[in-house]
Amino acid sequence: MTPIYFILSPGANPVITVEELAKSQGVDLKHVHKISLGQGQDVVAMGKLDIGHKEGHWVMLQNVHLMPLFLLDLEKKLDEFASEGSAPGFRLFLSSDPAKSIPIGLLEKSIKLTNEPPQGIK
């Protein structure tokens, strides 16, 4: 029930890392849902979250900083999931650029990770 929150740095791509982790854990990649947030994607993201919660899929929401109002709904949804209990395989990964619009409650619930940029990028 603890989301993994990737704070993006230039040149870093956590999607590849999550996919490799899924393969190493025996998770079929068709059960790893990746959604890049932007206009209209909040409905898609909520649908995938519900499926992931019920069926134990992995969900990766990318660029969450682009939809700060959605993050408030996401925080409420995670509280609902915690009270109901999610399927054991459910995992949630978030990624965003550093932003002040990220709700503190969501950050407090998450394990925060960042990657150093690849060599050669300044």
Task: State the Rg of the chain over Cα.
Answer: 14
Rounded to the nearest 10 degrees, the angle between the axes of helix 41-55 and helix 68-84 is: 20
Q: For residue 84, which amino acid is it?
A: E
**What integer pLDDT is reported at residue 21 of this predicted model?**
94
> What mean pLDDT value characterizes the chain?
90
| Other beta carbons within 10 Å of 6 | 24
| Other beta carbons within 10 Å of 122 | 4
Structural domains present in the chain = 4-97 (3.40.50.300)
| Other beta carbons within 10 Å of 7 | 19
Give the 3-state secondary structure of residue 59.
strand
CA-CA distance, 25 to 64, in Å (whole number)?
A: 25
Mean pLDDT, residues 97-114 = 91
Question: Residue 120 — pLDDT band, cuts 50, 70, 90?
Answer: low
